[in-house]
Chains A and B, each alone.
Chain A
Amino acid sequence: MLKKFDKKDEESGGGSNPFQHLEKSAVLQEARVFNETPINPRKCAHILTKILYLINQGEHLGVMEATESFFAMTKLFQSNDCIYIVYTFYSLTKDMTGKDDNYRGPAVRALCKITDVLLADVLLRPFQPASHALSSLQTTMLQSIERYMKQAIVDKVPSVSSSALVSSLHLLKTSFDIVKRWVNEAQEAASSDNIMVQYHALGLLYHIRKNDRLAVNKMLNKFTRHGLKSPFAYCMMIRVASKLLEEEAGGFAELLDIGLVWFVLQLFCSSPKAALRYAAVRTLNKVAMKHPSAVTACNLDLENLVTDSNRSIATLAITTLLKTGSESSIDR
């Protein structure tokens, strides 16, 4: 492995990569400086970056290696405590509720990652007597997490609120019943002025309620009446609405007559931006699967895209035309 890197280094000349010669065992060895006092923040941060780089390259850390490095890292919280997980937990809750706003969002996210593991653990073996002490500890931690999360969701700082909402969404998978108790807080966040907070709050609300059609309908009604600030949230709500329409009316063919939709699609077709042309032709392609006749209005635009320099766009245009085209378009 190392040899291969060496060779490449010679070939590429000056383009040196400071991480190129990293070896896992050496980096983990270096990580022992985490135990030294006083801590050298610069050096430690650099070693952390190296570990992240290795993991990112697909390097696998064994259970022992990972555990050892984790415990070494927790020392960076300057702890003398012996129960590291609990300590890490409390350091994070301290960061999460601390004065420094810039630490709070990331602390919420890290805390929820740990919580997720804990919860999965509780759910997997709730009745094992051997883990009794641990589970009572977990229950206590969960209760305080719940309190912190509810506060964080309605926090005035957008990065904190967004982090808490998205983390709640991740937690839904392992602990739906706990997260659904946070609906009121999410509801409050949904009327936030911040576009990302609004998007995340609506998303979380939908994920919690998606099996309750009545609740989804109510949510849609409310936001179509009051409007939304966030384009991402609009995108999400349009999807929710079209899903409801498809389920209820068995399709949304009647919507295809709306002239504005075609106008926008035609506009996109001639956009200098490839992403917009792609979006338009992909939409037309999807519609043509079900309603080829509705797409014929855009045939001319599609024909122009057949020679597009972007191959994906050209291919999509051709397959769409095959569904909608007539003999008269062959010559062109």
Chain B
Amino acid sequence: MEALILEPSLYTVKAILILDNDGDRLFAKYYDDTYPTVKEQKAFEKNIFSKTHRTDSEIALLEGLTVVYKSSIDLYFYVIGSSYENELMLMAVLNCLFDSLSQMLRKNVEKRGLLENMEGLFLAVDEIVDGGVILESDPQQVLHRVAVRVNEIFCMPP
């Protein structure tokens, strides 16, 4: 018999993905061994994309995992957790990532803008999730921590 509850744990997020409108990977971070090889990961991404890119709903049960997602112009954002996970916590991560990016890019969140700010994206994800644990869910905090570092790297005199 399946367990009714999840073993209490801080490890909440299994993966964060950003795909473009062809379903190709722009960003992917897997936090456990559910999909150990790049091949399996890409197959999973393909499956997820084919099942979600034409719907505007925000949550799905796929391959036994809870997937919360949202799209913007030509981008698809996914946060993935166990099917026993609290959906609202996964939503909090998705919203935090999306809101941080939309404020960071200061305009519509789309592929071109994101590619021009990859370092911001890498830093932001590192502030939101650490090894599968939700580190911060407040976009203002994330933005503050990322912005300071990006500015210091890029505005230093050569």
- B137 at the A interface (CB under 8 A): yes
> Which of A53-61, A119-127, A294-302 forms contacts with chain B?
A53-61
Which of B42, B130, B144, B153 touches A42 (beta carbons < 8 Å)?
B153
**A49 & B58 in contact (Cβ 8 Å cutoff):** no
Which residues of chain A are near B122, meaning CB under 8 Å?
49, 52, 56
Interface residues of A in 155-178 (CB under 8 A from B): 159, 162-163, 166-167, 169-170
Give how many B residues have a beta carbon under 8 Å from the other chain's beta carbons.
55
**A49 & B119 in contact (Cβ 8 Å cutoff):** yes
- A94 at the B interface (CB under 8 A): no
Contact flags (1/0) for A271-295 with B, using CB distance below 8 Å?
0011110110010001001100000
> Which of A28-36, A309-317, A324-332 forms contacts with chain B?
A309-317
Q: How near does chain B come to A278, taking the closest CB pair, in angstroms? A: 5
> Which of A135-143, A185-193, A203-211 forms contacts with chain B?
A203-211
> Which of A12-20, A67-75, A221-229 forms contacts with chain B?
A12-20
Which of A17, A166, A200 touches B115 (beta carbons < 8 Å)?
A17
CA A286 to CA B88, docked complex, whole Å: 17
Interface residues of A in 223-258 (CB under 8 A from B): 232, 235-236, 239-240, 242-243, 246
Question: Which partner residue on chain B sits nearest A246 by CB separation?
Answer: B5
- A129 at the B interface (CB under 8 A): no
Which of B4, B9, B59 touches A310 (beta carbons < 8 Å)?
B59
Question: Which partner residue on chain A sits nearest B12 by CB separation?
Answer: A232
- B33 at the A interface (CB under 8 A): no
**B59 & A58 in contact (Cβ 8 Å cutoff):** no
Which residues of chain A are near B28, meaning CB under 8 Å?
56, 58
Main secondary structure of the interface of A (DSSP, over half): helix
CA A325 to CA B5, docked complex, whole Å: 24
**B119 & A8 in contact (Cβ 8 Å cutoff):** no
> Which of A45, A60, A103, A290 has the most chain B CB atoms closer than 10 A to its own CB?
A45
CA A16 to CA B136, docked complex, whole Å: 32
Which residues of chain B are near A289, meaning CB under 8 Å?
2, 4
Given A41-B158, A42-B153, A275-B91, A286 and B4 contact (CB-CB distance below 8 Å): yes
Question: Which partner residue on chain A sits nearest B41 by CB separation?
Answer: A58
Which residues of chain B are near A16, meaning CB under 8 Å?
112
Which residues of chain A are near B116, meaning CB under 8 Å?
18
CA A311 to CA B9, docked complex, whole Å: 29
- A79 at the B interface (CB under 8 A): no
Which of B5, B126, B137 touches A196 (beta carbons < 8 Å)?
B137
Given A17-B115, A41-B156, A52-B122, A196 and B58 contact (CB-CB distance below 8 Å): no
- B105 at the A interface (CB under 8 A): no
Given A282-B87, A311-B60, A207 and B9 contact (CB-CB distance below 8 Å): yes
CA A196 to CA B135, docked complex, whole Å: 7
**A274 & B57 in contact (Cβ 8 Å cutoff):** yes
**A102 & B149 in contact (Cβ 8 Å cutoff):** yes
Which of B9, B87, B154 touches A278 (beta carbons < 8 Å)?
B87
Given A58-B41, A159-B145, A163-B135, A275 and B9 contact (CB-CB distance below 8 Å): no
**A58 & B8 in contact (Cβ 8 Å cutoff):** no
Chosen A-B contacts, 25 in total, with CB atoms closer than 8 Å, are: A17-B115, A18-B116, A41-B154, A52-B119, A53-B118, A57-B25, A58-B28, A58-B41, A58-B42, A106-B126, A159-B136, A159-B141, A163-B135, A167-B130, A203-B10, A210-B8, A239-B5, A239-B8, A246-B5, A274-B59, A275-B91, A278-B61, A279-B86, A279-B87, A279-B88
Question: Top 4 nearest A-B pairs by Cβ distance?
Answer: A58-B38, A203-B10, A310-B57, A239-B8
Given contacts A15-B74, A309-B55, 9 further A-B contacts (CB under 8 A): A41-B156, A45-B154, A52-B118, A102-B144, A167-B130, A169-B10, A207-B9, A232-B137, A243-B5
Question: Which A positions have Cβ atoms within 8 angstroms of B?
Answer: 8, 12, 15-19, 40-42, 45-46, 48-49, 52-53, 56-58, 60, 102-103, 105-106, 109, 159, 162-163, 166-167, 169-170, 196, 199-200, 203-204, 206-207, 210, 232, 235-236, 239-240, 242-243, 246, 273-276, 278-279, 282, 286, 289-290, 309-313, 315-316
